[in-house]
Structure 1
Amino acid sequence: MSVQRMYQAKVCMAEEAVQFVEPGEVVVFPINPGEPPALLQALPTNQKLMGNTLFRMLPGYPLIETESEIIKQVSIFLSGHDRKAFSEGVSDLLPNHFSDIPALLKMSSPTPVVMAAVSPMDEEGYFSLGTSVSYVGDLLDQAKSIILEVNQKMPRTFGEQNKIHISQVTALIENDFDLPSLPEPILNDKDTKIGQTIADLIRNGDTLQIGFGSMPNAVMEYLKDHRDLGIYTEMLPDKVVDLYEKGVITNANKKIYRGKTTATFALGSRRLYDFMNNNEDIFMLPCQVSNDLRNISQLDHLVSVNSTVEVDFLGQCNSEVIAGKYYSSTGGQADFAKGVRMTENGRGIICLYSTAKNDSISKIVPLLSPGSVVSTTKNDVDYVVTEFGKAELRGKTVQGRTEALINIAHPKFREELTFEAIKRGFLPKKNFFMI
Structure 2
Amino acid sequence: MKRAWGNNLNGGFWHVRDWSERYADKVVTAEEAILSIPAGRRILIGSGAAEPVSLVKAMVEKGAHLADNEVVHLLTLGPAPYVEPEHAERFRHIAFFIGANVRRAVQEGRADFMPVFLSEIPELIRNRRVRIDVALIQVSPPDAHGYVSLGVSVDIVRSAVDSATLVIAEVNPRMPRTHGDSFFHVSRFDKLVPVDAPLLEHRAEPLDEVARQIGQHIARLIPDGATLQTGIGKIPDAVMAQLGQHNDLGVHTEMFSDGVMRLVEAGVITGRRKTLLQGKVVTSFIMGSQELYEWAHEHPAIEMRPSNFTNDPGVIARNERMIAINGALAVDLTGQVASDTLGGHFFSGIGGQVDFIRGARRSLGGKPIIALPSTARGGTVSRIQTSLEPGTGVVTSRGDVHYVVTEYGVADLWGKNIRERALALINIAHPDFRADLLAAAKGRRFVLPDQVVPRARYPWTEERREQTRAGAELLIRPARITDERALQELMYGLSDDSCYRRFMMYKKTHPHEEMQDLVDLDYEQNMALVACMPGTEEIIGVVRYDVEPATRLADVAFVVRDDWQGKGVGTLLMRRIREAAVARGIPGFQADVLTTNKPMLDVFHESGLSVQATLEGNTYHLKMPFPEAQPVAPSRPTSRA
In the other structure, the counterpart of 2:608 is: none
Q: Bigger CA drift: 353-362 or 309-318?
A: 353-362
Q: Could you tell me how far apart the structure 2 residues matched to 1:324 and 1:288 are?
A: 30
Contact 2:179 2:304 in 1 (8 A): yes
Aligned counterpart for 1:143 among listed residues 161, 164, 173: 164
**TM-fit CA distance, 1:111:** 5.3
**TM-fit CA distance, 1:297:** 1.5
In the other structure, the counterpart of 1:55 is: 72
**TM-fit CA distance, 1:30:** 1.9
Where relative contact order (Cα < 8 A, 6+ residues apart) is larger, the structure is 1
Matched, 1:189 2:188: no
Matched, 1:280 2:300: yes
Secondary structure, counterpart of 2:73 in structure 1: strand
In the other structure, the counterpart of 2:412 is: 392
Equivalent residue runs for 1:44-193 within 5 Å: 44=60, 45-60=62-77, 61-64=79-82, 65=84, 67-106=87-126, 107-108=128-129, 110=131, 112-160=133-181, 162-193=182-213
CA distances 1:130-171 after superposition (whole Å, capped 9, x unpaired): 1100111123232211111011111110111x1121111101
Q: Could you tell me how far apart the structure 2 residues matched to 1:195 and 1:111 are?
A: 40
Contact 1:213 1:307 in 2 (8 A): no
Structure 1: runs of 5 or more not aligned: none
Change (3 A) 1:432 1:423: farther
Contact 1:310 1:365 in 2 (8 A): yes
Matched, 1:232 2:252: yes
Q: What letter matches 1:287 in structure 2?
A: S
Q: Could you tell me how far apart the structure 2 residues matched to 1:304 and 1:187 are?
A: 21
Q: Bigger CA drift: 296-305 or 321-330?
A: 321-330
Q: Could you tell me how far apart the structure 2 residues matched to 1:93 and 1:59 are?
A: 15
Secondary structure, counterpart of 1:34 in structure 2: coil
Q: How many residues align?
A: 434
Q: What letter matches 1:15 in structure 2?
A: E
Identity %: 37
Over the aligned positions, Cα root-mean-square deviation in angstroms equals 1.5
Structure 2: runs of 5 or more not aligned: 1-16, 456-641
Contact 2:318 2:363 in 1 (8 A): yes
Matched, 1:327 2:343: no
In the other structure, the counterpart of 1:27 is: 43
Q: Could you tell me how far apart the structure 2 residues matched to 1:246 and 1:59 are?
A: 30
Q: Could you tell me how far apart the structure 1 residues matched to 2:433 and 2:334 are?
A: 17
Q: Could you tell me how far apart the structure 2 residues matched to 1:353 and 1:183 are?
A: 21
Secondary structure, counterpart of 1:155 in structure 2: coil
Q: Could you tell me how far apart the structure 1 residues matched to 2:278 and 2:421 are?
A: 36
Q: Could you tell me how far apart the structure 1 residues matched to 2:343 and 2:292 are?
A: 34
CA distances 1:222-259 after superposition (whole Å, capped 9, x unpaired): 10111100000011111011101110111112222111
Contact 2:204 2:234 in 1 (8 A): no
Q: What letter matches 1:52 in structure 2?
A: N
Aligned counterpart for 2:236 among listed residues 216, 230, 248: 216
CA distances 1:20-48 after superposition (whole Å, capped 9, x unpaired): 21222211112121111111111142343
Contact 1:305 1:349 in 2 (8 A): yes
Q: Could you tell me how far apart the structure 2 residues matched to 1:356 and 1:235 are?
A: 26
Contact 1:26 1:109 in 2 (8 A): no
Aligned counterpart for 1:12 among listed residues 15, 24, 28: 28
Equivalent residue runs for 1:300-311 within 5 Å: 300-311=320-331
Q: Could you tell me how far apart the structure 2 residues matched to 1:312 and 1:353 are?
A: 14
CA distances 1:357-391 after superposition (whole Å, capped 9, x unpaired): 22211111110112211011111111101000100
**With structure 1 as the length reference, what TM-score do the two structures score?**
0.97
**TM-fit CA distance, 1:413:** 1.0
Q: Could you tell me how far apart the structure 2 residues matched to 1:193 and 1:32 are?
A: 28
Q: Which has the larger radius of gyration?
A: 2
**TM-fit CA distance, 1:108:** 4.9
Aligned counterpart for 1:380 among listed residues 400, 404, 416: 400
Equivalent residue runs for 1:252-263 within 5 Å: 252-263=272-283
Q: What letter matches 2:432 in structure 1?
A: K
Contact 2:232 2:256 in 1 (8 A): no
Q: Could you tell me how far apart the structure 2 residues matched to 1:55 and 1:224 are?
A: 39
**TM-fit CA distance, 1:112:** 2.2
Contact 2:284 2:304 in 1 (8 A): yes
Q: Could you tell me how far apart the structure 2 residues matched to 1:218 and 1:433 are?
A: 29
Q: Could you tell me how far apart the structure 1 residues matched to 2:150 and 2:133 are?
A: 17
CA distances 1:190-230 after superposition (whole Å, capped 9, x unpaired): 00000001001101000000023211221010101111000
Q: What letter matches 1:334 in structure 2?
A: V
**TM-fit CA distance, 1:271:** 1.2
CA distances 1:260-280 after superposition (whole Å, capped 9, x unpaired): 000111111111111101111
Q: What letter matches 1:34 in structure 2?
A: A
Contact 2:361 2:368 in 1 (8 A): yes
In the other structure, the counterpart of 2:435 is: 415
**TM-fit CA distance, 1:63:** 2.6
Q: Could you tell me how far apart the structure 1 residues matched to 2:329 and 2:132 are?
A: 37
Q: Could you tell me how far apart the structure 2 residues matched to 1:50 and 1:80 are?
A: 25
Matched, 1:244 2:260: no
Q: Could you tell me how far apart the structure 2 residues matched to 1:346 and 1:189 are?
A: 27
**TM-fit CA distance, 1:322:** 2.0
